[in-house]
């Protein structure tokens, strides 16, 4: 299968990769490399009803929980619906609500929410979410959601069953659609140390981070725990601790270079080669084999005056094989990224062929990098 027409499609990708690697070699802030331990958002989830839809709500015969929820809501508001009565509504939809409660969020602050249909509603456009509680992983209520939905999708359906949909009309958002009712207790000021966790573990980066912290705040200020965690001694006074952390997160250091790795996406043919990748001396040739199968039918008819004759159709297959031989090319010892791409360009290999070449080099022990296939 020819995934791309040529290796030239990799050149823009490699240019972007080179720019990113050049930027990674420069100094970066601790804020961009690590996260303060315990300072994180918390997921919230809830259930509610969206009303006011233009006939695009749940079909109650297939979503009985929508009717049950509506009866319960009306009962709390003082409206009694007889048990044997099931309203056949098309303007109500049962929805799931989810949001992220930011770190240090205080009661009264608004947060954005996302509303998704969980029944068979075709669209939430024009609907309003009625008051619904949002709970955390501990089951406690941390926010109350309500408001008018903003739906980016659009859908239309004909009586014959034909349907046209743009984006996803069964999901919407409500900016500032929930009010925080309870703050999440945090442990930011409960200890005499602050923990910094790297986004990606690296011993070199951790060592340089400790050195930068001790150079700025004095020896013994920071201690490396492992390839991810650095503990920093911080002032106990809250106001001084905030100023201290502001200085810490703006400190700059040069992170360690990324390991030699080749990422291969076998489904799309995407190949990303890191700048540290090198190839030992090796000679490679990669040919292309094409198999063509042509199907045809032969019709055999009986003679005019024959008795009992029948027309017979017999299939006929023709198989042809062609092989295109490519030139052999050689990798010298210590070959860099640019030389690898240049050599493959000269041979005219496509990204799919490059995947096979890299796998063969890894099998032969000539590829000095980790080959990761996703």
Query: Residue 233's pLDDT is what?
Result: 92
**What are the tens digits of pLDDT across the range 147-159?**
999 998 666 665 5
Summary mean pLDDT of the chain: 79
Q: What is the mean predicted confidence (pLDDT) over 239-268?
A: 85
Q: Measured over all CA atoms, what is the biggest interatomic distance in the chain, rounded to whole angstroms?
A: 113
Q: How far is the C-alpha of 78 from the C-alpha of 86, rounded, in Å?
A: 17
- Mean pLDDT of all residues in 298-322: 65
Q: Percent of the chain having pLDDT more than 90?
A: 33
Looking at beta carbons, which pairs linking 247-251 to residues 24 or more positions away fall under 8 Å? Answer: 247/216, 248/30, 248/194, 248/196, 248/213, 249/29, 249/30, 249/31, 249/36, 250/29, 250/30, 250/31, 251/29, 251/30, 251/212, 251/213, 251/216
Quote the pLDDT of residue 265.
78
User: Rounded mean pLDDT of 243-249?
Assistant: 91
Any idea where the domains of the chain sit in the sequence?
Answer: 7-22+260-303+311-373, 42-180, 187-253
> Could you give the CA distance from residue 227 to residue 224 in angstroms, rounded to a whole number?
8
- Summarised one tens digit per residue, pLDDT across range 44-97 is 999 999 999 988 888 877 778 888 888 888 888 888 888 777 777 889 999 999
Q: Which residues contact 192 (CB under 8 A, 6 or more apart)?
A: 233, 234, 236
The pLDDT value given to residue 8 = 43
The pLDDT, as a whole number, for residue 135 is: 96
Averaged pLDDT for residues 132-152: 94
Each residue of 157-178: pLDDT tens digit?
655 555 666 678 889 999 999 9
Contacts of 259 (CB under 8 A, 6+ apart): 274, 276, 370
Task: Give the residue-averaged pLDDT of 276-292.
Answer: 65
Tokens standing for residue 323: 């092989």
Run of H or E residues at 289: strand 288-300
CA distance linking residue 144 with residue 109, whole number of Å: 11
């Amino acid at each position: 299968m020819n995934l791309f027409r040529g290796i030239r499609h990799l050149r823009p990708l490699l240019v972007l990769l080179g720019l990113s690697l050049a930027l990674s070699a420069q100094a970066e802030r601790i804020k961009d490399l690590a996260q303060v331990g315990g300072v994180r958002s918390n997921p919230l989830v809830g259930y509610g009803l969206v009303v006011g839809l233009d006939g695009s709500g749940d079909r109650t015969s297939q979503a009985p929980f929508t009717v049950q929820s509506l009866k319960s809501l009306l009962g709390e508001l003082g409206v009694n619906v007889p048990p044997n009565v099931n309203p056949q509504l098309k303007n109500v939809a049962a929805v799931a609500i989810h949001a992220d409660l930011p770190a240090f969020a205080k009661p009264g602050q608004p947060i954005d929410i996302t509303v998704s249909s969980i029944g068979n509603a075709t669209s939430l456009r024009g609907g309003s979410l009625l008051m619904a509680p949002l709970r955390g992983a501990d089951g406690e209520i941390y926010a109350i959601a309500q408001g008018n939905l903003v739906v980016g999708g659009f859908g239309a359906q004909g009586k014959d069953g034909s349907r046209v949909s743009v984006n996803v009309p069964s999901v919407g958002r409500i900016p500032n659609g929930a009010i925080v009712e309870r703050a999440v207790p945090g442990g930011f000021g409960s200890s005499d140390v602050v923990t910094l966790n790297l986004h990606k573990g690296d011993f070199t980066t951790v060592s340089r981070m400790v050195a930068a912290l001790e150079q700025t705040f004095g020896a013994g200020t920071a201690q490396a725990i492992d390839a991810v965690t650095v503990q920093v001694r911080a002032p106990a006074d809250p106001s001084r601790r905030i100023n201290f952390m502001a200085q810490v997160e703006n400190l700059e250091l040069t992170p360690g270079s990324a390991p030699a790795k080749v990422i291969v996406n076998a489904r799309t043919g995407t190949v990303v080669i890191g700048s540290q990748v090198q190839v030992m001396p090796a000679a490679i040739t990669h040919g292309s084999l094409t198999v063509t199968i042509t199907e045809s039918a032969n019709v055999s008819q009986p003679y005019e005056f024959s008795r009992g004759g029948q027309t017979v159709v017999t299939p006929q297959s023709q198989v042809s094989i062609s092989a295109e031989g490519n030139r052999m090319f050689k990798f010298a010892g210590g070959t860099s990224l640019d030389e690898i791409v240049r050599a493959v360009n000269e041979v005219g290999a496509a990204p799919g062929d490059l995947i096979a070449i890299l796998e063969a080099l890894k099998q032969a022990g000539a590829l000095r990098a980790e080959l990761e296939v996703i």
